[in-house]
Structure 1
Amino acid sequence: MNTDILPESGTAAQRSTSYARQQSVNSSVVTGTFLDRARAALARQRAICARPQEHVDRVFRDILGQADGTYFGKKHGLSAVRTLADWKKAVPVRCYPAFEPYIQKLLDGDTNVLTRSDPYAFLKTSGSSGKPKLIPTTRHWRNLYRGRALYAQWGLYFESIGYDRSHGAAVLDLSWERSASLKPVSDFASYAISQRPASVSSVDWSPPWYEEDWFQGVDDEDYKTGLYRKLRLLASSDVRIIVALNPSKIVGLAEQLAERSGDLIADLRRGTLAGAPCGGADPLLADRLAAVQRAGGGALRLADLWPNLSLVVSWNSASAALYRPWLEEVTPGVPKLPFSATGTEGIVTIPVDAHHAAGPLAVDLGLYEFVPVEGRDEDADLEPDVETVGYRDLEAGRTYNVVMSQANGLYRYDLGDRYTVVDRVGEVPRMEFAGRGGFGSSFTGEKLTEEDVHTAVRLALGDDWPFRPLFTCIPVWHTPPGYTLAIEWPDGLALAPERFAAQVEGQLQALNIEYAEKRRTERLTPLRVLAVPPGTFAAVDQRRQADGASPAQLKHYWVQRNGDVLRYFEEALRQ
């Protein structure tokens, strides 16, 4: 197998019981050497903002160099490309399906297909219809771009709490964990970006907690148990920074602490975890937490466990922004900073200052082009010959589709993401993620599309319905959030709404691996079906128009853009 990444420490079976090994000292504390590296990376990123063009030019030359002589390069005549204008003429803008033939050639064992540095693994993410996308990852891309970029954002986090307070402090990193096992595709390792199993070199992102038990994934461990294990293994540590991609995970951590406060106190008193010895007893901490528990009415908070908690980091834009009040409730008064705008295909922005949600474009990590969203069909892909503009031409307040070229072989890739320009950091636009074109909803990273919902309902209906029903999926913000499927329900149908809801739920999980994961970890509630009489959709449209909605707003969506429309359906049922 083509999985020659650095070896794991121990077998999967050994790692599955890693929580039971003694951890009397937390070796994941931040060291001076690591801090120096992160601080230097942050300084470099800030300097790039002052003089970006030389880095843009370097990235362009490197991408051409990676494509030189490859199957893709020959097919597109890239040997004659000298300028960005040449590049745009030679390579059309395309979405992932157009790359699938190249990906398949790699999976079949061909080399020199997209890049001169061949992939050693594929990063897996959910496609627009739930079919996994496989993103090639090469050592060249990992070492020169992806790995080192993470040091810069962590430099900001340490700077924000003070480098002097960071040295010797502990970090709880929930943004990824080392996977306990690999799931190969063809002869390649394949895994989600949040489950990278090992570093590929000394310049890759390798934090001090890389070998820690709490950071290792455990086979067949459920979501809540995993969060509790991390709480227990770091309970006696001086955790000052908590970092996650989705804010829902930090909220889930806080909820686990509240729900299992008694278990944690007992485990600390006995020196156990899941009934096995773990790191020795800590009766002083157990007594302190028990006193706090009694005074506070029974539930511990994160600040009770870690009084020096000084920073919380997560995505904080688009749908994730809905978590701001909830996140503040579980970490009151603790400063918040954003994680980089990171996707499986590449990194778009890296935060370099205290802005709560946005960061400057990562001009040194890829070649970026932009298409204004105004006047475009939000559900349509970009045209292959669409006119694009560069970072210098972006205007504050406007929103753009992103076209991204990376040294991993995704050239002029229609990312599907939209970003709004906030202002500029030096000469580089500061951009905030605004959502995905054609996407219906994504509370916790599930990226539920209209095609997901339409296909799931169609498959669940089978032959039970004599006609195509009207339906729409409505995002419902709650703690945790979920979805309500409003559907016109014909009289006399033998199928019960509850059974139909379970069938649609099953189809959604089969179609969309991200939705399935969020349901498994209970970050989303089960789908609810709201069965309404025939004619309800027309009545709702009339009511909304009477309330001032324009005809464009009354366009039918399989997934609603927000949950406001739910009240119209519920009012229609009460009449």
Structure 2
Amino acid sequence: MVPIRSVLAKPVAAWVISKRRQWERKPAETQQFWLNKLLDSARNTEFGRNHFFKDIHSHADFQQAVPIRDYEALKPYVEKVTHGEPDILWPGKPLYFAKTSGTTSGIKYIPLSKESIGFHINGARDALLSYIHETGRSEFLDKKLIFLSGSPEMTTKHGIHVGRLSGISNHHVPGYLRTNQLPSWETNCIDDWETKLDRIIDETIHQPMSLISGIPPWVQMYFDRIQARTGKKIKDVFPDFQVFVYGGVNFEPYRAKLYDSIGKKIDSIETYPASEGFIAYQDSQVHPGLLMLLNQGIFYEFIPVEEFFTEKPRRLSIGEVEVGKNYAVIMNTNAGLWAYNIGDTVKFVSKDPYRIIVTGRIKHFISAFGEHVIGEEVEKAMAYAVSRQPETQVVEFTVAPQVAPPEGGLPYHEWLIEFANPPHDLEQFRQDLDTNLTKLNVYYDDLISGNILQRLQLTSLRRGAFIEFMKSQGKLGGQNKVPRLANDRTVADQLKPLV
């Protein structure tokens, strides 16, 4: 058979990259275009009238008229949309609601409009085309591809389809990929993750899998089940496996174990999709960071993290950000989200083009004593400790404060870690975590040296602990993620018995 997909992909990739270069050269102008277009499109909506969109002529005007909101603050408008009312946040009604689980808001319904859905799909497509354009490797398109995702089955709410973002995206996979996409529709619709996983293995284990996509911990579970069934490394089960596509969490804590399971190093592509919009993707195997997609129907604002909880934080446009600083991401979208805080923090690693790394969640931190330890810092500390004892393989971990230790003594941070392969010297590993964290966070260092906190404690959990925990929460598999850290012990106390 003539490898049509892989042959045609190269000129298509060249065309897409040439179009991308046009807006990459004009980032500020591109973003201003989208601000103007969004305001003009929504001026006659209820939100647009309430916030005087017709009188807004600049970013400064917009900031004055539209305050920062999270989902709870936007909920009165969203509820009108979910009840079928048109022209509330965006003209007409949305095509879909992406249903997500909020940490404080319960179920969240994020609107996807006919204008926004194409950008969601094109973001994933362009990530693959960027890889093909840079590496010249497109043969994986002619083999089998798997997307470990949520169920594509949807419900309706006042005539609007409701589902998980990954399931909604399944309805829009391009026709030229459908014939080599796995798993089958019927298998993808299975709700129970473990049952679904066994069926996925049944369907894929004898296929020429070339691309595997999903959130790393659930891909690892897929690999573990395959190895248990076959006794082989993944490279021997899937000799054509070429590209791993992932997103949703930092890959570094999972990298060593995933590559050990595979048995060889393969190329990976990181993506940054959110229900609110497709924000960025890894556009290069050489340069660090993810390309910020500035021409995707979204106008971005960035709040310096240290100002986020102040009364009047600055809201910077793309031309005002600096490399190396942490920002909370604020989105204004062509589905009707306005000055919307998605809860993520990013750091720019380049401004030509604008590339970012995701550094954590604005509400996921430990600051029981003013230390404000963030996700990026605990993940860097973990990477350092693993590098000192490279035999170590981490399945998953989370960190929480212990304010009133039951054993008495000073409070501390507790790291609850599940190892696939523990370090030879667990005490040295603990010391390396703590030493590196004091270097990364001066406030934590001050609390340690001032005898306010004692050095961190490490609790090693039994194999399968995090799967047990996620299963108990009804969040096993799909797009669900373990919180990396928290300012309370809600998660830690449920994990603690699983030693």
TM-score by length of 2: 0.71
Which residue matches 1:346?
A: 277
| Preserved CA contact (<8 Å) 1:337 1:356 | no
In 2, the alpha carbon distance for the partners of 1:235 and 1:125 equals: 31
TM-score by length of 1: 0.62
Q: Structure 1 residues 314 and 211, CA, compared in 2 at 3 Å: closer, same or farther?
A: closer
Q: Percent identity?
A: 18
| Preserved CA contact (<8 Å) 1:117 1:139 | no
Which residue identity lines up with residue 436 of structure 1 in the other structure?
Answer: R
In 1, the alpha carbon distance for the partners of 2:14 and 2:192 equals: 36
Listed as ranges, the matches of 1:11-30 within 5 Å are 30=5
The answer for unaligned runs of 5 or more in structure 1 is 1-24, 262-298, 455-469, 482-504, 526-555, 571-575
Which residue matches 1:209?
A: 178
Cα displacement (A) at 1:67: 1.0
In 1, the alpha carbon distance for the partners of 2:330 and 2:472 equals: 23
Q: Structure 1 residues 191 and 372, CA, compared in 2 at 3 Å: closer, same or farther?
A: same
Which residue matches 1:359?
A: 290
Instruction: Choose the corresponding residue for 1:328, options 246, 251, 259.
Output: 259
Which residue identity lines up with residue 183 of structure 2 in the other structure?
Answer: W
Which residue matches 1:517?
A: 475
Which residue matches 2:125?
A: 151
Which residue matches 1:134?
A: 109
Instruction: Choose the corresponding residue for 2:66, options 75, 91, 95.
Output: 91
Which residue identity lines up with residue 372 of structure 1 in the other structure?
Answer: P
Cα displacement (A) at 1:252: 1.2
Cα displacement (A) at 1:88: 1.4
Listed as ranges, the matches of 1:353-432 within 5 Å are 353-354=284-285, 358-365=289-296, 366-374=298-306, 376=307, 380=309, 383=311, 385-424=312-351, 426=352, 428-432=353-357
Which residue matches 2:194?
A: 224
| Preserved CA contact (<8 Å) 1:316 1:324 | no
Q: Deviations over 1:471-517 (max 9, x none)?
A: 99955221579xxxxxxxxxxxxxxxxxxxxxxx9xx97xxx99531
Q: Deviations over 1:265-297 (max 9, x none)?
A: xxxxxxxxxxxxxxxxxxxxxxxxxxxxxxxxx
The answer for unaligned runs of 5 or more in structure 2 is 366-373, 380-393, 404-409, 422-465
In 2, the alpha carbon distance for the partners of 1:147 and 1:307 equals: 28
Alpha-carbon RMSD across the aligned residues, in angstroms, is: 4.2
Which residue identity lines up with residue 272 of structure 2 in the other structure?
Answer: A
Which residue matches 1:116?
A: 91
In 1, the alpha carbon distance for the partners of 2:347 and 2:336 equals: 26
Cα displacement (A) at 1:329: 1.4
| Preserved CA contact (<8 Å) 1:209 1:215 | no
Listed as ranges, the matches of 1:48-87 within 5 Å are 48-87=23-62
Q: Structure 1 residues 63 and 524, CA, compared in 2 at 3 Å: closer, same or farther?
A: closer
Q: Structure 1 residues 331 and 50, CA, compared in 2 at 3 Å: closer, same or farther?
A: farther
Q: Deviations over 1:5-37 (max 9, x none)?
A: xxxxxxxxxxxxxxxxxxxx9x99945455654
Q: Structure 1 residues 212 and 241, CA, compared in 2 at 3 Å: closer, same or farther?
A: closer
Cα displacement (A) at 1:354: 1.3
| Number of residue pairs matched by the alignment | 412
Which residue matches 1:3?
A: none
Q: Structure 1 residues 477 and 389, CA, compared in 2 at 3 Å: closer, same or farther?
A: same
In 2, the alpha carbon distance for the partners of 1:472 and 1:520 equals: 33
- Secondary structure (helix, strand or coil) at the match of 1:417 reads strand
Which residue matches 1:252?
A: 221
Q: Highest Rg: 1 or 2?
A: 1
In 1, the alpha carbon distance for the partners of 2:70 and 2:105 equals: 15
In 2, the alpha carbon distance for the partners of 1:88 and 1:210 equals: 47
Q: Structure 1 residues 418 and 130, CA, compared in 2 at 3 Å: closer, same or farther?
A: same
More strand by share: 2
Q: Structure 1 residues 45 and 472, CA, compared in 2 at 3 Å: closer, same or farther?
A: farther
Q: Structure 1 residues 211 and 119, CA, compared in 2 at 3 Å: closer, same or farther?
A: farther
In 1, the alpha carbon distance for the partners of 2:171 and 2:477 equals: 30
Which residue matches 1:537?
A: none
Which residue matches 2:440?
A: none
Q: Structure 1 residues 423 and 524, CA, compared in 2 at 3 Å: closer, same or farther?
A: closer
Return the structure number with greater relative CO, CA threshold 8 A, min gap 6.
1
Cα displacement (A) at 1:220: 4.0
Which residue identity lines up with residue 367 of structure 1 in the other structure?
Answer: F
In 2, the alpha carbon distance for the partners of 1:48 and 1:134 equals: 31
| Preserved CA contact (<8 Å) 2:147 2:182 | no
Q: Structure 1 residues 139 and 190, CA, compared in 2 at 3 Å: closer, same or farther?
A: same
Which residue matches 1:302?
A: 234
In 2, the alpha carbon distance for the partners of 1:210 and 1:410 equals: 35
Q: Structure 1 residues 51 and 197, CA, compared in 2 at 3 Å: closer, same or farther?
A: closer
Q: Deviations over 1:334-360 (max 9, x none)?
A: 234342211111222222111586212
